[in-house]
Amino acid sequence: MTAANVDFVSKFMGRALEQRVITTVDVDQKLIKDGDLFLTRRLDGMDPFYMVSTGSHAAHAAIALRNDQGELYIIEAQSAYYFKDGESGVQATKFDEWLDWARSSD
């Protein structure tokens, strides 16, 4: 499916998506500040559609926010398919958990 999605983006956006040489970067959580933006994409069929529709290299946005205890969360709006409780809306996920989900979903 990945190859078909890369071809779709290339054909309809005129942009070639290069294969990443570095696939994992560990970031010290102390460097992440409230409001930092995480832009993502998955080559799953829907994200390339959003990319072509908007002209963006990303298809999803999430922001970092710390609670009163200083714990780092990622805040994002998701559809029921991706939402951890099976409902659509805005969710707050602890950073480590969010990162595990992101890595497991490619």
Residue 84: pLDDT band (50, 70, 90) is low
Which has the closest alpha carbon to 55: 19, 15, 17, 18? 15
Whose CA is closest to 79, among 97, 98, 96, 60?
Answer: 60
Q: What is the reported pLDDT for 47?
A: 82
In a domain, 73, yes or no: yes
Does the residue 49 lie in any domain? yes
For the chain, what is the domain count?
1
Give the whole-number percent of the chain exceeding pLDDT 70: 92
Which domain range does residue 38 map to? 2-15+28-104
Is the separation of the CB atoms in 43 and 66 below 8 Å? no
In a domain, 50, yes or no: yes
69 falls within a domain: yes
Distance CA 47, CA 96 (A): 23
Task: Identify which has the larger pLDDT, 31 or 78.
Answer: 31
Whether 11 is covered by a domain: the verdict is yes
Asked whether residue 99 is domain-assigned, the answer is yes
pLDDT beyond 80 at 81: no
Q: Is residue 21 part of a domain?
A: no
User: Is residue 20 one of the residues assigned to a domain?
Assistant: no
CA pseudo-torsion sign 22, 15, 49, 38 = positive
